Structure formats: structure tokens, C-alpha cells
Amino acid sequence: MSAIDRVTDPFERFTQAHASRMASLVVVTVLAFLWLPIGVLVFMSFADGGVLSFPPDELTLRWYRVFLSNDAALDAIVTTLTISVPATGITVALSTMIAYAVDRYVFPGRNWLQLLSTLPIIVPLVVTGVAMVLFFNGTLGLPDYVSVVIAHVIRTIPFATLVILPTFMSFDRGLEEASKDLGADEFETFRQVTLPNVFPGVVAGGLLAFTLSFNEFVYTYFVKGSGDPTLPVYIWNQIRYNVTPEVNVISVVFLGVAVSMVLAAVSLTRVDLIARR
């Protein structure tokens, strides 16, 4: 037995004996740090107090009423939707085309297309944000609204493509041949066989894109300028000037949107079926 073995041995034995308990501890800690603040936030959205304090004196829906009667906040939601909905549509169309092309065809620059479309994930948001302000608003002189939609599309395309691509890759093109063999022409084959099989993935990509766009802050903050704020920017402004419990309520709205979108995506793609395969 070497010297190192003697030193590491007790540690080795301890980890062997308690491996699963240690793993559980790590998981619980991570989950706690992730979810406890959010749990507190949700709880606090029902608190009566005028400031962020814990524990609250009384539970109430007062701040939800305040939120719903706050035109500025509701305007922010509308502003967000006028950006997120078209951005999502454009993203889904582009991502589907990218996925289709990458899956079906071998063409020059195929790998570059794949790399470039996922690049925005890696480049720091602030860098891209500044770059977009300079280019869209400065060089091109685009209106704020157009710039911000383009920014959202750029932000969401990598994620949507990553979700949509696997559905194309796992789609068996033999099914299209079978369909044609059974008498369906090209269009009917696409409508009755291709689309139903890739549709869940496309919808899931769209839901993800929408969630990201709805929550998007950094690009929006840079590109949007001084116009009507989106909901995330509105929260930012609120927190900067005066913190009210209304912010908690808006955060819960975000949480609700995100969770329901993810649930919808999961049920549509039937991830459980894919996992079982």
C-alpha cells in the first residue's frame, strides 16, 4: 500500500459509504437555491406589506388588483406581446427551414449554418446587445420596433432550432415513401404524414421561442431605446425607482407563462414517449 493510498483511503471509504446520501444533499441544496427564492416570491406576491419584507403580516390579493388596474403594467404586457408574437412566428419559420435544410441536404456551408445559428448562445448577451444597437439603430437606422423584433428573433433562433432539428432528424423519410406508395401525392404526403410527425417539435420550438422572447431583457434594453417598455424592462424600471410588491405579482405572471409554455411543449412533444424509445 503506497503512501498516497493510505492518505486517500479513509476519504475513499467515507465517500463509498455515503455516496448516495452526499449526492442527494447536493441535489437538494441546488434545488433549494433555485426554487426557494422563487417560492418566497410567489408567497410574497400575496403579502399585504408595502415593502419586500418577510414574513408578511397578512395574505391578500391586493397587489394583483393593483397590477390589473395599472395601465402602465398592462401596456407593458401588450408591448411585449406585439414584439414576442411576430418574433416567435418568424423564428419558427426560420428555424424550421434551417432544421429542414440541415437534415435533408448536404450543401456547402452546412456546418457553418449550424454553427452560426447556434452562436448567439455562446456570445455574451451584452456584446451582442451593443453590437445590435450600433448596427440596427446606428448603421441601418431601423425603427426601434423592427430592431427589437430582429433582436428577439436572433435571440430565440438557436434554441428553437435546437428543439426542432431533432424532430426532423428522427423523422423516418421511409414514411413519405410509404405514403406515396399508397397513393398520396407530394402535397397530401406532406399534409398527412410529414407535418403531423414534425408538428409537435415545431410547436415546442415555438413555445420555447415565445417564452424566451417574453422574458427577454438584455437585448430589449439595449435596442429598444426610450419607447414603451416591455414587461421585463418595466420591472427593471420599477425596481430602480420604487420597489412595490406589485413587482412580485409581475414576476409570478412571468413564472406562470414560462411554466405553462414548458408544460404545453412537454405534452405536445410527448417527451416521455421519446425517452422510452
Closest contact distance (angstroms) between CB of 91 and another protein is 25
Q: Is 68 in the site for another protein (CB under 8 A)?
A: no
Q: What is the DSSP letter of 1?
A: -
Pick from 3, 55, 196, 241 the residue near another protein by CB under 8 A: 196
Alpha helix ranges (H) inside 45-140: 62-68, 71-104, 110-122, 125-132
Distances (CA, A) of 202 to 36, 66, 176, 216, 259: 33, 37, 18, 21, 18
Which of 52, 25, 32 lies closest to 41 in space, CA to CA?
52
Determine the Cα–Cα distance for residues 27 and 17; give it in Å rounded to an integer.
Answer: 18
Q: Look at residues 145, 153, 150 and name the one whose alpha carbon lies nearest to residue 225.
A: 145
Q: Residue 9 or 188: which CB sits closer to another protein?
A: 188
Q: Which residues does 249 contact at the CB level (< 8 Å), separation at least 6? A: 45, 63, 64, 66, 67
- Chain CA centroid to CA 123, Å: 17
Residue closer to another protein (CB basis): 62 or 180: 180
CB of 193 to another protein, least distance (A): 6
Which residue's CB is nearer to another protein, number 84 or number 179?
Answer: 179
- By C-beta, is 109 or 196 nearer to another protein? 196
Give the interface segment with another protein, choosing from 67-75, 82-90, 193-201, 222-230 (CB under 8 A).
Answer: 193-201
Note whether 181 binds another protein by CB under 8 A. yes
Closer CB to another protein, residue 48 or residue 181?
Answer: 181
Torsion of CA 231, 83, 39, 242, to 10 degrees: -10
Cβ-based nearer residue to another protein, 48 or 186: 186
Q: Does 182 bind another protein (CB under 8 A)?
A: yes
Interaction of residue 175 with another protein, rule CB under 8 A = yes
- Out of 26, 169, 185, 191, point to the residue binding another protein (CB under 8 A): 185
Question: Among 96, 179, 230, 238, which residue sits at the site for another protein (rule: CB under 8 A)?
Answer: 179
Q: Is 9 in the site for another protein (CB under 8 A)?
A: no
For residue 267, state whether it binds another protein (rule: CB under 8 A).
no
- Report how far apart, in Å, the C-alpha atoms of 224 and of each of 7, 155, 209, 230 are: 60, 14, 19, 9
Using CB under 8 A, list all residues that contact another protein. 172, 174-175, 177-185, 188, 192-193, 196-197
